Amino acid sequence: MMSLVKYSAWCLTNPASLSHTVPRPQLCTFPSFNNVQHCNQLSFSSLKPLHISSVEKFGLSANLGRRVTDCRAYEADRSRPLELNIELNDEGEGIEATQRLKIGLYFATWWALNVVFNIYNKKVLNAFPYPWLISTLSLAAGSLMMLISWATRVADVPKVNLEFWKALFPVAVAHTIGHVAATVSMSKVAVSFTHIIKSAEPAFSVLVSRFLLGEAFPVPVYLSLVPIIGGCALAAVTELNFNMIGFMGAMISNLAFVFRNIFSKKGMKGMSVSGMNYYACLSILSLLILTPLAIAVEGPKLWAAGWQKALSQIGPNFVWWVAAQSVFYHLYNQVSYMSLDQISPLTFSIGNTMKRISVIVSSILIFHTPIQPVNALGAAIAILGTFLYSQAKQ
């Protein structure tokens, strides 16, 4: 902001005027000039310190016939007011509407891809009951897709270093255990039952954080665990096709994913990687961990015999089923990590709860899973508890 101050040399040389000390500039809301004509009462103030920029016309003024001092002043930071006339109402509403639409598309894509994955995954496991190989193929497909995307510059190559991979390693171990355990569970029980048990993941999160990390939670959080645990227990007791391996697989998956989240929060602080690239690196490292374990547990001989049997029963469509479940596994996880970049943890938790409902309902309808009213009630209570937990946690 520029200020122009003009006063005569007479005022500066007049002994009467010199007998009065010009007061030190004081801060006020707006610059003010009082009684400029009377030099003995000259005072000015500014919100910011002023510095003399130029002094002109130290001489006789042609107009006034006397010496005139022309001082220009500027604020210390040389700031200038911006003359902008921007109307943000309509534009702000448009941006907000676009963001809501974007989040809605993320959620719809996330749920749709997850439903498709679970359907093809169950169809493959029914014909080819080797969950360790199926889990490996899922990670391999995602890793290959991202490597091609980086090589062709479709996606930005992440800038990572050795410290990043060290921090990611425990996350990848937990992710690998959780992924395999969930696949083992779905190979033994109905998809709906696996996801009902997996809806108890918030209970595992609270219990691990409380007893292992010493983290305290508000009372409503603990109360929300009651319907989660009670609903899952009721659904498990009334499950017609209950299997202990399937039940334990889902429980181990819950515990592993809780530790994955804990390791991710602790180890990845300060490392800037997008959600898509983060999951891609996680898949690659998990693939390196899982491949030798899958060969040791199941082995190529069992895979070859099972593959021939599945092809003889299903035909060439079986190959497409395997490819579809592998690709859709990576896509739905990638979209979930990308959506986490755009939304709050609370919104993500609510979206995850709704995802469980869509998977449970769609799998019951497609596979004609027999379900009793008490079993359905237990599932509903568990899902409601998960929703209440997401509210109380925030």
CA 166 from chain center: how many Å? Answer: 21
The answer to whether residues 25 and 138 belong to one domain is no
Alpha-carbon span 221 to 206, nearest angstrom:
8
Q: How many domains does the chain have?
A: 2
The answer to whether residues 125 and 233 belong to one domain is yes
- Count the Cβ atoms, other than its own, within 10 Å of residue 310: 20
Predicted pLDDT of residue 35: 47
Domain boundary among 75, 95, 110: 75
The answer to whether residues 238 and 382 belong to one domain is yes
Domain boundary among 75, 100, 127: 75
Buried b (16+ CB within 10 A) or exposed e, 129-155: ebbbbbbbbbbbbbbbbbeebeeeeeb
The answer to whether residues 143 and 247 belong to one domain is yes
Tell me, yes or no, whether 257 lies in a domain.
Answer: yes
Contacts of 239 (CB under 8 A, 6+ apart): 189, 190, 193, 375
Tell me, yes or no, whether 53 lies in a domain.
Answer: yes
Tell me, yes or no, whether 335 lies in a domain.
Answer: yes
Residue closest to 174 by CA, chosen among 63, 73, 268, 314: 268
Predicted pLDDT of residue 8: 42
Predicted pLDDT of residue 345: 63
Tell me, yes or no, whether 46 lies in a domain.
Answer: yes
Tell me, yes or no, whether 92 lies in a domain.
Answer: no
User: What range does the domain containing 22 cover?
Assistant: 2-75
The answer to whether residues 144 and 30 belong to one domain is no
The answer to whether residues 201 and 263 belong to one domain is yes
CA 64 from chain center: how many Å? Answer: 71
74 in Cβ contact with 55 (< 8 Å): no
The answer to whether residues 342 and 231 belong to one domain is yes
180 in Cβ contact with 131 (< 8 Å): yes
The answer to whether residues 188 and 306 belong to one domain is yes
**One digit per residue, pLDDT tens: the chain, 394 residues?**
344 444 444 444 444 444 444 445 444 444 444 444 444 444 444 455 545 544 544 444 444 445 554 545 444 444 444 444 445 455 666 777 777 787 778 788 888 999 999 999 999 999 999 999 999 999 999 999 999 999 999 888 988 889 899 999 999 999 999 999 999 999 999 999 999 999 888 889 888 888 888 888 889 989 999 999 999 999 988 888 889 999 999 999 999 998 988 888 776 666 678 778 889 999 999 999 999 999 999 999 999 999 999 999 999 999 999 999 999 999 998 888 877 767 666 667 677 777 888 899 999 999 988 888 998 999 999 999 888 888 887 6
Predicted pLDDT of residue 187: 95
Predicted pLDDT of residue 57: 47
Q: Token pair of 374, please?
A: 């008490």
Tell me, yes or no, whether 107 lies in a domain.
Answer: no
CA distances to 188, 259, 335 from 329, in Å: 19, 21, 10
Predicted pLDDT of residue 287: 97
Alpha-carbon span 113 to 329, nearest angstrom:
8
The answer to whether residues 271 and 363 belong to one domain is yes
What 3-state DSSP class applies to 52? strand
Predicted pLDDT of residue 32: 46
The answer to whether residues 71 and 137 belong to one domain is no
Q: Where are the alpha helices (DSSP H) in 71-189?
A: 89-127, 131-151, 162-188
DSSP state of 63: T
The answer to whether residues 67 and 129 belong to one domain is no
The answer to whether residues 349 and 297 belong to one domain is yes
Domain boundary among 75, 104, 132: 75
180 in Cβ contact with 139 (< 8 Å): no
Tell me, yes or no, whether 93 lies in a domain.
Answer: no
Query: pTM of the entire structure?
Result: 0.73
Angle between helices 317-340 and 89-127 (to 10 degrees): 150
Tell me, yes or no, whether 105 lies in a domain.
Answer: no
